[in-house]
Structure 1
Amino acid sequence: MGLEAAGWSVAYANDIDPVKRDQYDHHFGDTGDHFELGDVHNIDPASVPAVQLATASFPCTDLSVAGGRAGIRAGESSAFWGFVQVLRGMGDRKPPLVMLENVVGFLSSHGGKDFVEAMLALNELGYSVDPLVLDAKWFVPQSRPRLFVVAAQAPAIPVTGLLATQTRPAALVHAIMSARDVKWRLSDHPSPPRRSVLTLADILDDLSDDSPEWWPRERAEYFLNQLSPRHLAVAKEMMKGKSWSYGTAFRRVRPQPNGRKRSMAELRTDGVAGCLRTPKGGSGRQILFRAGKGRYSVRLLTPRECARLMGADDFNVSGSLNEALFGFGDAVCVPAITWLAENVLPVRPIAAETKPRSRAVQ
């Protein structure tokens, strides 16, 4: 969706999850002509059409702290190597541009070795690489920092000095300057917005007080009792307001002074939602807290609200709540991708003069 907004069209798509394929079909229509369901490691490169851009958002499971940091060679995150295998198998047909997306933790996985290994793999295929960080909160009211890598079949440009910027924070600058063997080609792009013009309140459904989405009083009180003294004080202050104010929360298991662990609800009230996650184990469901007029209400964010937090306002939400949450928890912020396409992709589509839309695989 983000690339389409910038004039690209999809020529081929792949995912291993049949539920995500169904979600894709429900939104885009019958996609049997270009969607290949299956493990990326098993894809025949000959089945992938020649295009100008290939994108890969491979699983972060083994790169994040929550996933145990097994690394890019382990488990689901090894899908990156399946993608590389497809590119290699395409030979002279491989696209001039590649774009990767993953969590910022990719930079520090295995002491930074995983990131460097991935960049060198792209170099080996003839690509020079340009990494940068974008946070969804610059475009929508959701905190979601992500690492992107734009790779181009173009000569490398030596990096002799680099200062931290909005899109290249200190951790990324350190990773770049420490990897002298990598062939970099850093773009000189404009700064993205500093913050979305929308706030959390702007993307919420207008639900009546008697909507079944709101939790029963007993469950809402249990949530309130899970707040720390500091967060509880914030919640009580919100209740004193003459109008509604909103916050979001996740439950996390935290150690207590007595040495035991307890499930705690951690409240965020800056007008920005926390990072949407897949609801594994139940703790990944984001909670909405509404307070004011001397009272409060609690519920989960709805699938439609999650779609808006990803900048996919009109996405055809279908299936169960958990299926929708899994889809959006794994998704990429739509306007962030549009910004990348318009400001960072280093070449215009090769066929731009003869075809109104360029083509991509994902």
Structure 2
Amino acid sequence: MTLAAPLNLLRQARARFTQREIAAHVGKDIKTVRRWEKGETPCPAMLEPALRDLLQQGARLKGEAHGSGAAQFRFIDLFAGIGGIRMGFEAHGGECVFTSEWNDFSTRTYRENYPAGDEHALIGDIVSFPAEDVPSHDVLLGGFPCQPFSIAGVSKKNALGRPHGFECTTQGTLFFDVARIIAAKRPAAFLLENVKNLLSHDKGRTFDVIVQTLRDELGYEVHYRVIDGQHFTPQHRERIIIVGFRGKTDFSWDDLRLPENGPRLGSILHRTDGSEPELPWDHDRFFDHTARCVQPKYTLTSNLWTYLQNYAAKHRAAGNGFGFGMAYPDSVTRTLSARYHKDGSEILVYQGDALRPRRLTPRECARLMGFPDTFRIPVSDTQAYRQFGNSVVMPVMREVARIMLPHVHTLLAEETRDGSKQALSLYA
């Protein structure tokens, strides 16, 4: 990566912020920021996400976004996790008006990163929450968990004349709660995210129920695509994205900008050359800035490393592909999982032949998922690994939001003009 992008972002930030404000945001002192600005030292490429985040926050806080400071659209964040989907849509001027997340540890991280001015409700379990009490919104977002769908008995209910549809085929699953809120609030659009295997679950019947519910029962135009996060971060992570619109659009996945050559692991690893940012919210938790090295606790113990090698050798002998995944600076890693805290085996960072490999630190996991260094990690390492392993690749969400939102605004404008439905947008 060239240094032009972070330097240009720094110049944009200086048009809105003082050197002191920038220094505080990126975790450096004022003199360092001054040297970057004067070109005396290069502005590190790894600061690009933090500078972009600062510009986005500045647009919201200073009321510069779109002239009036009002949000372009309103959205709700269901099964929110730590807010990765939210962050992608906020980057395009959205305002979150409702959040649901049941996990207490995830809620703690979410509140830590979305505190000031975020006065809307953050509720726990969405299952018992009345759909009519959800605020009006333009876009529904949800990374809903995939639970087994039972569609047995639908034909029998037909014969008996009993009600069916999505209330029958999805009752008892968390997708039902997405469907009932869409049915009650009729947002202009939605985005749902799930694992790639949702397509093949139960021989494809699960996904068929989801699409039929959204398209046939609820009347939305539905589009879906599997997107690999490695276009934006050095991680092979395929997820299915389902988007829908309340009216007819010319939405096309061809509008996505997916870089052919994404970044490599070295771009997100802690730097030992003195350029690692000293984040005031991390201190030396993950990286020893005095010794310029990752904290020793992330290096595998001798016993664990021996176990993983023996485990891999046993499966190789049996003709299986199981084993650890060694990663190098030029690697694209395997998929980070929620079990990473157990042994780190899917992504082990090579430290040379003289040292045992190490796990990624939670800060590196955040970077691997596309979160900026301004993202706080207030929970234990174990909980942080679980949260990032369950999260989304944030830049994927930001890119999908980019191609969705013009169609959302068009739908809202057309409905307002035609008088067929009062638009929900703040700009209506």
- Normalising by structure 2, report the TM-score: 0.59
Q: Quick check: 1:308 aligned with 2:400?
A: no
Contact 1:189 1:344 in 2 (8 A): no
Q: Quick check: 1:28 aligned with 2:94?
A: no
| Larger helix percent | 2
Amino acid at match of 1:27: N
Give the Cα separation in 1 of the matches to 2:305 and 2:345: 18
Match of 1:195 among 249, 261, 266: 261
In structure 1, what is the equivalent of residue 179 of structure 2? 84
Deviates more, 1:45-54 or 1:261-270: 261-270
Q: Quick check: 1:204 aligned with 2:299?
A: no
Secondary structure in structure 1 of the residue aligned to 2:219: coil
CA deviations on 1:145-190 (whole Å, 9 max, x unpaired) are 1100110012389xxxxxxxxxxxxxxxxxxxxxxxxxxx755424
In structure 2, what is the equivalent of residue 136 of structure 1? 229
Change (3 A) 1:191 1:296: same
Give the Cα separation in 1 of the matches to 2:299 and 2:175: 41
CA deviations on 1:7-49 (whole Å, 9 max, x unpaired) are 2121111111121111110111168732433222211112211
| Larger strand percent | 1
Secondary structure in structure 1 of the residue aligned to 2:192: strand
In structure 1, what is the equivalent of residue 65 of structure 2? none
CA displacement at 1:98 relative to structure 2: 0.8
CA deviations on 1:100-159 (whole Å, 9 max, x unpaired) are 1001101111111111110111121120101012111100111111100110012389xx
| Higher Rg of the two aligned structures | 2
Change (3 A) 1:267 1:25: same
Change (3 A) 1:32 1:19: farther
Secondary structure in structure 1 of the residue aligned to 2:349: strand
CA displacement at 1:194 relative to structure 2: 1.9
In structure 2, what is the equivalent of residue 215 of structure 1? 299
Change (3 A) 1:221 1:338: closer
Change (3 A) 1:52 1:87: same
CA displacement at 1:210 relative to structure 2: 7.9
Contact 1:131 1:186 in 2 (8 A): no
Secondary structure in structure 1 of the residue aligned to 2:248: coil
Aligned residue pairs, count: 289
Contact 2:270 2:364 in 1 (8 A): yes
Q: CA RMSD in A?
A: 3.5
Contact 2:325 2:334 in 1 (8 A): no
Secondary structure in structure 2 of the residue aligned to 1:343: helix
Contact 1:311 1:334 in 2 (8 A): yes
Match of 2:141 among 32, 39, 55: 55
Secondary structure in structure 1 of the residue aligned to 2:240: strand
CA deviations on 1:221-269 (whole Å, 9 max, x unpaired) are 515633746xxxxxxxxxxxxxxxxxxxxxxx948539xx998424355
Which consecutive unaligned segments of at least 5 residues does structure 2 have?
Answer: 1-86, 150-168, 272-286, 417-423
Change (3 A) 1:336 1:220: same
Match of 2:358 among 296, 299, 309: 299
Match of 1:337 among 369, 380, 397: 397
Which consecutive unaligned segments of at least 5 residues does structure 1 have?
Answer: 64-71, 158-184, 230-252
Give the Cα separation in 1 of the matches to 2:308 and 2:202: 38
Give the Cα separation in 2 of the matches to 1:288 and 1:151: 38
Amino acid at match of 1:330: N
Give the Cα separation in 2 of the matches to 1:223 and 1:201: 27
Q: Quick check: 1:257 aligned with 2:322?
A: no
Match of 2:339 among 270, 275, 279: 279
Contact 2:349 2:360 in 1 (8 A): no
CA displacement at 1:333 relative to structure 2: 1.0
